[in-house]
Structure 1
């Protein structure tokens, strides 16, 4: 890997660091303000800021396992972060569709594991509802993980298939010539 590629990849890590800082800052705000002063509507009846402590994983699953769950989930998060970093460094610099989502995944994983280790739970505060439908409360790290994973899934199922189809089309046109 040349210096330009390394520099470019560090740019993505800076973005991951920025998302991590936004996540931690927003959680500090939620802890300092929302925990004591109560909920704050952002868009009334749709998006509220509401403090919540989540000792489990997504949607509060596995939230009743105490310290065993806390440290077990932390180990899983460290392994996930290591895998993301491994794939990040193995991905060619030209593959921005993969590097960006991996940076988001890394920021989200590190943001939530930081809370879990430091506090014993993850601070959630973004509360979305629409009429009777109510989405589980989440945070910036959760959003980064979902967006990163979603972009990777789109790339896996749609973009690569398009690339393969265009290769097949170009091979067929060469054969018919």
Structure 2
């Protein structure tokens, strides 16, 4: 019996690692898309070459964001830059730890963590390398303009929404399943 448990563990470990590697590979892909689109924005948009993609709805405009989400806390200077680098590094470590501790079959949370990691690391790379984050996507309807953002910001937002959804509805679902299992026996 001890041998079969060891065999199951030795088989389960590569499976768990392989499953997580798929999510990490997807996260790396999103990170690369983020960095590539930012490099394109620097080349194509940096010197006032704004582009309207969908007139009255979607524009591409180069911006350098020295603050945090939606341009808040812009006046931090060198201290702010490195404070945000340390903060983002801690967030990446926390998300990775949560990712590793998440059950293999919890796809929503694993996907959310992968999105969060890609976004956090994408913006962290900019901040550490350049001292600011490159934003270039602007949605607007009429006179309302959504704050300028990038692929990393979108990844963070979607990942955070998935985690919030799981916190609100995931525990409820797990409770219902648990109650069904209890009443079935």
The interval holding the TM-score normalised by the smaller chain is: over 0.9
Q: How many corresponding residue pairs?
A: 174
Q: Which runs of 4+ in 1 moved over 6 A?
A: none
TM-score (norm 2): 0.90
Q: Distance in 2 between the 1:174 and 1:151 partners?
A: 30
Q: What is the aligned partner in structure 1 of residue 24 from structure 2?
A: 13
Q: Distance in 1 between the 2:174 and 2:138 partners?
A: 39
1:36 shift after superposition: 2.3
SS of 1:126's equivalent in the other structure is strand
SS of 2:46's equivalent in the other structure is helix
1:158 shift after superposition: 1.2
Q: What is the aligned partner in structure 1 of residue 93 from structure 2?
A: 82
Instruction: Identify the match of residue 69 of structure 1 among 80, 89, 96.
Output: 80
Q: What is the aligned partner in structure 2 of residue 28 from structure 1?
A: 39
Task: Provide the alpha-carbon RMSD of the alignment.
Answer: 1.4
1:111 aligns with 2:116: no
Question: Which structure 2 segments of 5+ residues have no match?
Answer: 1-11
Q: What is the aligned partner in structure 1 of residue 4 from structure 2?
A: none
After superposition, give the CA deviation of every residue in 1:153-177 in whole Å (9 maximum; x if it has no partner).
Answer: 1111012212213433554x459xx
1:138 aligns with 2:138: no
Question: Which structure 1 segments of 5+ residues have no match?
Answer: none
TM-score (norm 1): 0.94
Q: Distance in 2 between the 1:107 and 1:149 partners?
A: 12
Is the 2:64–2:133 Cα contact (8 Å) retained in structure 1? yes
Q: What is the aligned partner in structure 1 of residue 5 from structure 2?
A: none
Instruction: Identify the match of residue 55 of structure 1 among 32, 52, 66.
Output: 66
Is the 2:48–2:62 Cα contact (8 Å) retained in structure 1? no
